[in-house]
Amino acid sequence: MTETLRPDLCIVGAGSAGLSVAAAAAALGVPVVLIERGQMGGDCLNAGCVPSKALIAAARRAHDIRQAADFGLGAPEPQVNYARVREHVRSVIGAIAPNDSQARFTALGARVVRASARFVARDTLEAGNVIVKARRFVLATGSRPAVPDIPGLDTVPFLTNETVFDLTRRPEHLVVLGGGPVGLELAQAHRRLGTPVTVIEAGRALGHEDPELAAHVLAALARDGVVVREGATVREVAGEEGDIRLVVENRGSRTELKASHLLVATGRRPVTDGLELAAAGIAHDEHGITVDQHLRTTNRRVYAIGDCAGPAAGGRRFTHVASYHAGLVIRSALFRLRPRVDMRAMPRVIFTDPELAVVGMTEEEARADGTRITVLRWPLAENDRAQAERRTEGEIKVILGRGGRILGCGIVAAGAGELITPWTLAIAHDLKIRDLAELTVPYPTLSEISRRVAMSYYAPSAARPMVRRLIGLLRRFG
């Protein structure tokens, strides 16, 4: 039998974006229908953020054992049991899963429908035996791995972020296609767990990041033994499980590379298949669902958020961006406000070791914008806590505009994802560098690099003869 539901809000997709909207709406007593055809929690919980960070944590422990001699400790080479590592990853997912479960959202008051959804009219969609006629719809269908068009790739077994965490045995040689954040995070983790790893990148590894900051990350990967081949293109793939052969072209010459396992990490594509968007008058293309700066689609009843939304949504596919989108939609759909997408203070983090965290403008972006800027730097090696921990790779780099206004910040350091937060706050509230310089920071902590780099802004002024004469004059009257 067919059931017809008439909620205020219908959400398609139970990943980070959709669940954030559903939880907020249900908490406000709004009738909500949540539709999900796959796993609750979406990519972040099941195949993205959570399992990758669990794997990285295991790899870090192995790395720490190898570094124990630097602290005067004796330790053998770590014995890595991939099956046990997989159990660790699955147990972390299992610990978090109840927060994203159907039972929890049902208890919150949402109606959860586990089926594929498709629009049949501008104000109606169908999911299994349920017809939903909602006042507002939110599409939060996420993204999936993009698979490049390489001859032979469709004939060989390959891994993506959705399948790599199922490995129970150590690969003899892992080849990673793609030198972006996902590719390098997983490359370093597997190398630290004992697997030889080669990364193939057609352009420059971490090509969207400040080259000065990215160089620290690439140097750390090289020390770990990860081979990164930049400017290289895979022309052909052949073979079978455990014996995969790749023809790689670099600067006009071709070589053959052998791998036991192949990981494709060449980006992501929005998921829109099966939604029948045309039936609802919703425009979309290969970049995602077309939205305006308020996240509305070409059908004013429908919003699109998270990874499935087009470039106007900010163009960054992160879980915290999805949560940010969710907050905007709640204000718009339920409170009739008109908030706009503003990515100026949206941080991003690459979870290699050291981590790379960025918020606001990079130096290149600021110069391209024609802004007169000041660039401040402070090396991590000048931080006492970093020396004590023997983790001195990295630096902080700050971009300032006129009058010391903070335009951007990039940090390469252990825990950079935590260290970037005060700079995110500073940009969000249009603070100036003096506000960071006046902070009192506990000693010894890595956070001191933020205050030290802020203080360095005033060093040139303090050396000016006029300032020195003024200080001398004031001293006489002290």
Report how far residue 193's alpha carbon sits from residue 187's, in angstroms, rounded to the nearest whole number.
10
Contact 437, 455 (CB under 8 A): yes
Closest C-alpha to 139, from 307, 334, 321: 307
Nearest to 20 by CA among 342, 330, 318: 330
Whether 393 is in a domain gets the answer yes
pTM: 0.94
**For 415-420, which contacts have Cβ atoms below 8 Å and span 24 or more sequence positions?**
415/355, 415/446, 416/349, 416/354, 416/355, 416/356, 416/357, 417/347, 417/349, 417/351, 417/355, 417/357, 419/357, 419/446, 419/447, 419/449, 419/450, 420/347, 420/349, 420/357, 420/358, 420/359
Do residues 113 and 211 both lie within one domain?
no
- Specify whether the CB–CB gap between 9 and 33 falls below 8 A: yes
Token code pair at residue 164? 């790599």
Residue recorded with tokens 């290149």: 364
Specify the pLDDT at position 228. Answer: 98
Give me the DSSP letters along 353-415.
Answer: SSEEEEEE--HHHHHHTT---EEEEEEGGG-HHHHHHT----EEEEEE-GGGBEEEEEEEETT
Do 252 and 278 reside in the same domain of the chain? no
Residue 68 lies in a domain: no
Q: How far apart, in whole angstroms, are the C-alpha atoms of residue 188 and residue 202? A: 19
Binding residue positions for FAD: 53, 141-143, 307
The whole-angstrom separation of Cα 227 and Cα 196 is 9
Q: Which two tokens stand for residue 31?
A: 């009738």
Q: Per the domain annotation, does 134 fall within a domain?
A: yes
Res 252: pLDDT: 87
CB atoms within 10 A of CB 440: 6
- Maximum pairwise Cα distance, the chain: 92
Same domain, 320 and 444: no
Does any domain span residue 340? no
Distance CA 293, CA 295 (A): 5
Q: Give the residue from 282, 225, 234 showing the smallest Cα distance to 257.
A: 234
Residues 15 and 131 in one domain: yes
Range of the domain at 17: 3-40+101-145+269-335
Of all helices (H) and strands (E), which one includes residue 254? strand 253-259
Residues 17, 124: one domain?
yes
Cα–Cα distance for residue pair 244/260, rounded to 1 Å = 6
Strands 197-201 and 227-230, how do they pair?
A: parallel
CA 66 centroid distance within chain? 28
Q: Which pLDDT does position 468 carry in this prediction?
A: 56
Counted domains in the chain: 3
Q: Is residue 80 part of a domain?
A: no
SS3 content of the chain, % helix, strand, coil (to 5): 40, 25, 35
What's the rounded Cα separation, in Å, for the pair 179 and 149? 17
Q: Please, are residues 26 and 10 in contact by the beta-carbon 8 Å criterion? A: no
Q: What is the CATH number of the domain that holds 438?
A: 3.30.390.30
Residue 75 lies in a domain: no
Over the stretch 356-397, which tens digit does the pLDDT of each residue have? 999 999 999 999 988 899 999 999 999 999 999 999 999 999
Given this model, what pLDDT does residue 339 score?
A: 93
| Neighbouring residues of 73: CB distance < 8 A, sequence distance ≥ 6 | none
Return the pLDDT at 1.
Answer: 77
Round to whole Å and give the CA distance between 105 and 117. 18
Answer whether 214's CB lies under 8 Å from 228's CB: no
12 and 140, same domain (yes or no): yes
Query: For residues 354 and 384, what is the distance between their CA atoms, to the nearest angstrom?
Result: 17
b/e string for 113-127 if b means 16 or more Cβ within 10 A?
Answer: beebbebeeebbbbb
The residues, ordered by sequence, that sit 6+ positions from 202 with a Cβ below 8 Å of its Cβ are 231, 232, 233
192 and 319, same domain (yes or no): no
Both 229 and 294 in one domain: the answer is: no
pLDDT, tens digit (0-9, with 9 covering 90-100), for 193-215: 999 999 999 999 999 999 999 99
Pairwise CA distance, residues 478 & 473, whole Å: 9
Q: What per-residue confidence (pLDDT) applies to 459?
A: 80
End residue of a domain, out of 335, 357, 376? 335
Q: Is residue 91 part of a domain?
A: no
The enclosing H or E element of 32 equals strand 32-35
Read off the tokens for 320. 């915290």
472: phi > 0 → left, psi -120 to 50 → alpha, else beta; which?
A: alpha
Q: Which residues are annotated as a binding site?
A: 53, 141-143, 178-185, 201, 267, 307
216 and 255 share a domain? yes
Q: Are strands 9-12 and 136-139 parallel, antiparallel or unpaired?
A: parallel
Of 425, 370, 362, residue with least CA distance to 402: 370
What gap in Å lies between CA 373 and CA 406, rounded to an integer?
A: 10
Q: Is residue 473 part of a domain?
A: no
Last residue in a domain, options 302, 335, 368: 335
Q: Are residues 10 and 138 in the same domain?
A: yes
- Among 243, 266, 289, the domain boundary falls at 266
CATH number at residue 202: 3.50.50.60
Q: Are residues 226 and 251 in the same domain?
A: yes
The one-digit pLDDT tens for each residue of the chain (478 residues) are 799 999 999 999 999 999 999 999 999 999 999 999 999 999 999 999 999 999 999 999 999 999 999 999 988 899 999 999 999 999 999 999 999 999 999 999 999 999 999 999 999 999 999 999 999 999 999 999 999 999 999 999 999 999 999 999 999 999 999 999 999 999 999 999 999 999 999 999 999 999 999 999 999 999 999 999 999 999 999 999 899 999 999 988 999 999 999 999 999 999 999 999 999 999 999 999 999 999 999 999 999 999 999 999 998 889 999 999 999 999 999 999 999 999 999 999 999 999 999 999 999 999 998 889 999 999 999 999 999 999 999 999 999 999 999 999 999 999 999 999 999 999 999 999 999 999 999 999 999 999 999 999 998 665 566 655 656 666 666 5
Residue positions forming the annotated binding site for NAD(+): 178-185, 201, 267
Q: Is residue 164 domain-shared with residue 187, that is, in the same domain?
A: yes
pLDDT, residue 451, reads 97
Could you give the angle at the alpha carbon of 461 between the alpha carbons of 397 and 345, nearest 5°?
Answer: 30
